[in-house]
Amino acid sequence: MSPKARDLAKSELVDLYLLGIGINGLSQITRETLDAIRRCRVVLHLSDQHTALKRLNKNTVNLDELYWTGEERGIVYQRIVSRVLEEVKRGPGVALVSYGHPLVFDDICATLRRRMDRARNRCVVLPAVSCLDTICVDLSIDYGDGLQVFDATALVNLELSMCAGIHTLLFQVYEFGEEGTADAIEERVERFRPLEAYLAGFYSDKHPALIVYSQDGDGEGPLKFRTTIRSIGKHQARMFPGVSIYIPPMHDER
């Protein structure tokens, strides 16, 4: 059997691959993810890397237009899950490719994995470089000191408890308090007040908050600027979809 035929036979064993390309274009993609993309029957993706992915697999489809609709994110995610499941029904060898790691804060991949398990379909998730990997490099921190990661909105809405003595990352900051996709969000001075007030329950008002974004291979980042937990909203104009907030541990002079 030729290597190409062997690859095809292998992809036939998998109904759905959930894959991530890393954070900085395709520069951090793993070899096993590259191999899976090359041998899949169809590659569906949510990333800025359409041309590069198409070079790896001619049957590559960009799902961006299903995503950027300004609708509630829950509705958008459900539509994408349905589109992927439709493709799985047509036959094995489907890949869904996103940036970062497929199972780090990714509702679409988490739902698909559950649905595939329930239907006893064959789903393979491959590890990938996540923004967790790039942020600690950008900030020169070691998560071994202790790390907590929250969705910014869930932190406040669910009144989750925080430990002020360890590293903290807040995700989905740009979307804070909003249900729509990022393209539908408008700047409002008061938008971040509930987050600032919530953080003040755990830290002093002057405690630092760093707005961070790792280079994405598409011209954005790296970004790192320092403010305080009480002044996050003042810096809205410098934020964009994809930024995170890092809060150093109390008593850390970073």
Ligand X SMILES: C[S@@+](CC[C@H](N)C(=O)[O-])C[C@H]1O[C@@H](n2cnc3c(N)ncnc32)[C@H](O)[C@@H]1O
Q: Which H or E run contains 66?
A: helix 64-67
In the complex with ligand X, which residue's Cβ is closer, 171 or 203?
Answer: 171
Distance CA 249, CA 146 (A): 9
171 binding ligand X? (CB under 6 A): yes
In the complex with ligand X, which residue's Cβ is closer, 14 or 18?
Answer: 18
Strand partners for 61: 44
Task: Using alpha carbons, list the distances in angstroms from residue 218 to 23, 48, 104, 214.
Answer: 10, 7, 21, 11
Q: Name which of 180, 189, 135, 145 is nearest 165 in CA terms.
A: 145
In the complex with ligand X, which residue's Cβ is closer, 105 or 198?
Answer: 105
Strand partners for 96: 18, 44
Token pair listed for 31: 């070899």
Considering only 15, 87, 196, 216, the residue that binds ligand X (CB under 6 A) is 216
Token pair listed for 207: 């405690």
Q: Which H or E run contains 18?
A: strand 16-20
Site string for ligand X, 73-112 (x = CB under 6 A): ---------------------------xx--xxx------
Task: Mark the segment that binds ligand X (CB under 6 A) among 64-72, 118-126, 213-221, 225-233.
Answer: 213-221
In the complex with ligand X, which residue's Cβ is closer, 119 or 137?
Answer: 137
Distance CA 16, CA 99 (A): 17
212 binding ligand X? (CB under 6 A): yes
217 binding ligand X? (CB under 6 A): no
The CB density around residue 238, as the number of other CB atoms within 10 Å, is 11
Which of the residues 12 through 71 are near ligand X (CB under 6 A)? 23
Min dist CB 132 to ligand X, Å, is 6
Considering only 46, 116, 125, 131, the residue that binds ligand X (CB under 6 A) is 131
135 binding ligand X? (CB under 6 A): yes
Judged by the rule CB under 6 A, the positions of this chain that interact with ligand X are 23, 100-101, 104-106, 130-131, 135, 171-173, 212-214, 216, 221, 242, 244
